[in-house]
Structure 1
Amino acid sequence: MDNRLEELIILNLLCVFILTYLLFLISAFLFPIDVAWYSKLKKPNWTPPSKLFGIVWGFLYFLIALSITIVESKVGIINTSSYFLLTWIINYLANQAFSFFQFKMKRLDLATIDCLVVALTGILLCFLTIPYSLLATLLIVPYVIWVIFATYLSYKIYRMNIKRAF
């Protein structure tokens, strides 16, 4: 392989990584955390500190971008199954929608349901990624674990903040 082709491949993979990472960061800019509102919510005593969430999500988005980049390098995203692509799209959209439901609409119920969709599609992605790369699969496992935890936390916060009508 000549140097020019190698450079193009590396540039393509770098673009895939950066684009994926930036796409996952979009909701943080479109629907920023309403710190005043969130701090007033009742939360379980095991809730991680608010500052930890940004750090964890930034790291997880890095792992997601790396996972997708590995799949691109192995087979090319366009050569993956339609189930793989559709599941990633649903997972991505649900991931982005969480901040909209939680911080823009302030709908803890919808945020919890959305978080469950992210968790379920994340689990499915683990299985759908295996044929393309075991390493890419392992890189999204921390995301799935965190989202399962986040779903439970979201549910608990929702339940603790339901306004009783009677």
Structure 2
Amino acid sequence: MIVTIIIAAVATICVLGAGGALTEIGPWYHSLRSPPWRPPNWAFGPVWSTIGVLTCIAAVLIWRASPTPWDKTVTLGLFAINAVFNILWSLFFFKLKRPDWALIEVAFLWLSVLALILDFYPRSPLAAALLVPYLIWVSIASVLNRAMVRLNGPFMGRADRGLVKGQS
């Protein structure tokens, strides 16, 4: 069991670390217009840390509740897909400065979290429930992402340094 916990913790730290490394809060981000209801910047770290802990616990619970190698393979595959979408969102929004691309991608991130919940529920309702805050947060992020695209678009490519059109 300790090996399962360590693997889940390391995987969670790697995914959150990769997303964090791609998150550049600088002049470009600060130049974006945001809706008045946007959470303060300081809230994102604690929220993602909480989601990481809950996801790690859910991973351990579902691994223990998976009776067959096939169940474990499906679970690993769903987690891998979710990890890719989680990291891609940060890449598109922050690194490539393309909130419009991130808005398209976040739908896949949301669906990947939902797929995890639906897959987990028959084997471990608790593991599924632990992922509900993740789904809620991605839902909020989706609406925020959409609002930021509407307030700031259209966006241009990296050749234009990712600045919002019309700004210097």
- Amino acid paired to 1:107: R
Count of residue pairs brought into register by the alignment: 156
Name the structure 2 match of 1:54: 45
1:47-69 per-residue CA deviation (whole Å, 9 max, x = no partner) reads 00011111111110111111001
**Which of these residues, 40, 43, 54, is aligned with residue 63 of structure 1?**
54
TM-superposed deviation, 1:163: 3.6
In structure 2, what is the Cα distance between the partners aligned to 1:132 and 1:117? 24
1:27 to 12, 18, 33: 18
- TM-aligned CA distance change 1:29 to 1:143, over 3 Å: closer
Q: Which amino acid aligns with 1:20?
A: A
Identity, in percent, stands at 28
- Read off the aligned partner of 1:55 and give its amino acid letter: P
The answer to whether the 8 Å contact 2:66/2:72 transfers is: no
Q: 1:102 aligns with which of 93, 97, 102?
A: 93
Question: Equivalent residues in 2 for 1:66-77 (5 A)?
Answer: 66-75=57-66
Unmatched tracts of structure 1, length 5 or more: 1-8
Structure 2 stretches lacking a partner, 5+ long: 156-164
Q: TM-score, normalised by structure 1?
A: 0.84
Shift, 1:90, TM fit: 1.7
Map Cα deviations across residues 108-137 of structure 1 (whole Å, 9 max, x no partner): 111111111111121122111112211100
Distance 1:47 1:118 in 2: 20
The match for 1:114 is 105
- Alignment correspondent of 2:8: 17
Runs of 4+ more than 6 Å apart: none
Mapped contact 1:122–1:144 kept (Cα < 8 A): yes
